[in-house]
Structure 1
Amino acid sequence: MKFFRILDKVVLKIEEFILGYAVIIIALMVVGNALSRAIFSYSLSFANEVSQIAVIVATFMGISYAARKGRHISMSAFYDLAPFKVRKVVSTIIPFLVAIVLFVLAYYSYLYVLNVRDSGTVTSALQMPAYIIYIAIPLGFFLGGIQFLRNMIINIVRREDVYLGTDAKDYNDQEKTEIDEAAHL
């Protein structure tokens, strides 16, 4: 179990590093290219390509991070009004279904990456093999699937609260806890 905790922390740090630098690269490339056009009337040929690569990496590597932190998109109007037991069941079933979908998408995107690799496609400005960029897609889907499975497991193991992510309790439960704590003061 200790090995998995260490592995989880390492994966989290790598995700944070990748996401942080991807956002910085996007900002630098977009702003740098805009300034280059405005000041020198010259567009950096690689800037658009690099920012697109960073967007792809940030988008797909961010799936796992968002699932871990409970920051993924959710339609929660009915969920928020539901009683605890219903929210607990929903928060166990939905992550399982999402994990299955993500694993299927990881498989098909992996096949796509192999197809792009076999085609020999390269990017236009950097002349970089395109499949290297697309590796982030199946990797992000796979890590996201693992994280959603972890979300399901934490909701099965920890019966007292509902978890939106392994690092995030349901905000409905947080509000209840804060009210209970305030009542005891």
Structure 2
Amino acid sequence: MNPLKIVDKFILKVEEFILSYAIIIIALMVVGKALSRALFTYTPPFADEVSQIAIVVATFMGISYAARKGRHISMSAFYDLAPFKVRKILAIFIPLVTAIVLFVLTYFSALYVYDVYESGRVTSALQMPSYYLYIFIPIGFLLGGIQFLRNMWINIKHRDEVYLGTDAKDYNDQEKEEIHEGTHL
């Protein structure tokens, strides 16, 4: 098997693991805090911090996963109405621009994380270094930028199809395939 595919599969599994557990932690902290307040009139001091960390992790680590699956937010009204050639050009151009923006954000967020690290700040409840909370921001931007470059590349490589993500064809093309396959039954 291709070494890049092995690394990609590994990154996908790590992303799925991190996202799954971040969502579970968010749910446990929010529900646990509400139940604790209602039943015992006590709120654990760490609940808000743990929730905040899990939200940051889920948000920024989810960039790459959403790009891979073609589930990222898009303004697609004009795109959906465009002919194939225009959609194909946009499917190459938009991921390229998005990747560039994400790489710039990676740089600036890494500078910010380094500033927080240098400051020696710690979180109020857990007393852990604050940069632990923010380290996932540049990692998420970097992985997202790489994934958008992959999306661009797959659209260059496959000339006859449009891909929204490396794992997702354009739904306009899928509908046409389904209609075409249905006529051959």
Q: Which amino acid aligns with 2:90?
A: V
Quick one: distance in 2 between partners of 1:59 and 1:76?
A: 22
Task: Report the secondary structure of 2:164's partner residue.
Answer: strand
Quick one: distance in 2 between partners of 1:77 and 1:183?
A: 28
Task: Report the secondary structure of 1:43's partner residue.
Answer: coil
Shift of 1:154: 0.1
Counterpart of 1:33 in structure 2 is 33
1:119-138 matched pairs, under 5 angstroms? 119-138=119-138
Whether 1:44 aligns to 2:61 is no
Q: Which amino acid aligns with 1:17?
A: F
Quick one: distance in 1 between partners of 2:112 and 2:48?
A: 23
Whether 1:58 aligns to 2:58 is yes
Whether 1:2 aligns to 2:2 is yes
Task: Report the secondary structure of 2:89's partner residue.
Answer: helix
Quick one: distance in 2 between partners of 1:144 and 1:8?
A: 13
Quick one: distance in 2 between partners of 1:146 and 1:165?
A: 12
Quick one: distance in 1 between partners of 2:74 and 2:32?
A: 35
Quick one: distance in 2 between partners of 1:81 and 1:114?
A: 45
Q: Which amino acid aligns with 1:74?
A: S
1:75-154 matched pairs, under 5 angstroms? 75-154=75-154
After TM superposition, which residue ranges in structure 1, 4 or more long, deviate above 6 angstroms? none
Shift of 1:184: 1.3
Task: Report the secondary structure of 1:164's partner residue.
Answer: strand
Listed as ranges, the gaps of 5+ residues in structure 1 are none
Quick one: distance in 2 between partners of 1:46 and 1:150?
A: 39
> What TM-score comes out, normalization by structure 2 length?
0.99
Task: Report the secondary structure of 1:127's partner residue.
Answer: coil
**What are the superposed Cα offsets for residues 130-170 of structure 1, whole Å, 9 maximum, x if unpaired?**
00111100000000000000000000001111000000000
Quick one: distance in 1 between partners of 2:167 and 2:83?
A: 22
Cα RMSD, aligned residues only: 0.7
Quick one: distance in 2 between partners of 1:7 and 1:159?
A: 25
Counterpart of 2:159 in structure 1 is 159
Task: Report the secondary structure of 1:93's partner residue.
Answer: helix
Identity of aligned residues (%): 73
Quick one: distance in 2 between partners of 1:31 and 1:44?
A: 12
Q: Which amino acid aligns with 2:21?
A: Y
